[in-house]
């Protein structure tokens, strides 16, 4: 009942350690190259700063004048019929379509994450650090997202709404 016939297989063990390692390296090198290629240069038209607080977002449009506003979630009692509970906000982020936009994202207090899944965006808001994400939206409409890094009691109640106008 002992494993006399399945021990001491030194050659096999060497092969099935070295070969997968080589395969993984062959996968990793192009993958890393692609990872850096995705951080492309697209010369954004303008820049918006998005600052996370507990538990709301502040947006600063400072390229052409100084527009700064807070974006709080609409409490359920303030919803109009047909609004989306936990998703609609009082002040949306208004952007033009077909314009490359650079978002600079940071936080005032704790970690947050600025997310708009339908545009493929997720960037952490880290206090003391500026993170950048760029995107170009092609379709007008309203895009919703929610804070994606646990940040306290109302983490589920600080959504992000982008309104893209043609």
Partner 1 sequence: MLPRAAWSLVLRKGGRGRRGMHSSEGTTRGGGKMSPYTNCYAQRYYPMPEEPFCTELNAEQQALKEKEKGSWTQLTHAEKVALYRLQFNETFAEMNRRSNEWKTVMGCVFFFIGFAALVIWWQRVYVFPPKPITLTDEWKAQQLQRMLDMKVNPVQGLASRWDYEKKQWKK
- CA–CA gap between residue 115 and residue 3 (Å, rounded): 54
Q: State which residue, 59 or 144, has the beta carbon closest to partner 1.
A: 144
CB 141 to partner 1: min, Å? 5
Alpha helices in the chain (DSSP H): 10-37
Contact 136, 101 (CB under 8 A): yes
Q: Is 65 in the site for partner 1 (CB under 8 A)?
A: no
Which residue from 30, 65, 66, 76 is in contact with partner 1, where contact means CB under 8 A? Answer: 76
Parallel/antiparallel/unpaired status of strands 141-146 and 159-165: antiparallel
Q: Is 67 in the site for partner 1 (CB under 8 A)?
A: no
Q: Is 79 in the site for partner 1 (CB under 8 A)?
A: yes
Q: Categorise residue 86: left if φ over 0, alpha if ψ from -120 to 50, beta otherwise.
A: left
The token pair that represents 55 in the structure block: 């538990």
Task: Report the first-to-last Cα separation within the chain, whole angstroms.
Answer: 76
Q: Is 154 in the site for partner 1 (CB under 8 A)?
A: no
Q: Is 141 in the site for partner 1 (CB under 8 A)?
A: yes
CB 85 to partner 1: min, Å? 4
Q: What 3-state class would DSSP assign to 154?
A: coil
| Span from 61-69, 76-84, 95-103, 125-133 in contact with partner 1 (CB under 8 A) | 76-84
Q: Is 142 in the site for partner 1 (CB under 8 A)?
A: yes
Binding site for partner 1 (CB under 8 A): 76, 79, 81-85, 118, 139, 141-142
């Amino acid at each position: 009942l002992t494993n006399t016939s399945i021990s001491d297989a030194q050659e096999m063990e060497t092969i099935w350690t070295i070969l997968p390692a080589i395969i993984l390296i062959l996968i990793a090198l192009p993958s890393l190259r692609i990872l850096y290629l995705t951080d492309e240069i697209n010369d954004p038209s303008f820049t918006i700063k998005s600052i996370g607080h507990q538990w709301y977002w502040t947006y600063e449009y400072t390229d052409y004048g100084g527009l700064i506003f807070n974006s709080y979630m609409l409490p359920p009692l303030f919803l109009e019929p047909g609004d989306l509970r936990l998703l609609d906000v009082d002040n949306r982020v208004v952007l033009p379509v077909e314009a490359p936009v650079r978002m600079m994202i940071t936080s005032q207090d704790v970690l947050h994450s600025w997310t708009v899944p339908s545009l493929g965006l997720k960037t952490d808001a880290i206090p003391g650090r500026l993170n950048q994400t760029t995107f170009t939206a092609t379709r007008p409409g309203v895009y919703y997202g929610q804070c994606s890094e646990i940040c306290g009691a109302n983490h589920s109640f600080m959504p992000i709404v982008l309104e893209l106008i043609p």
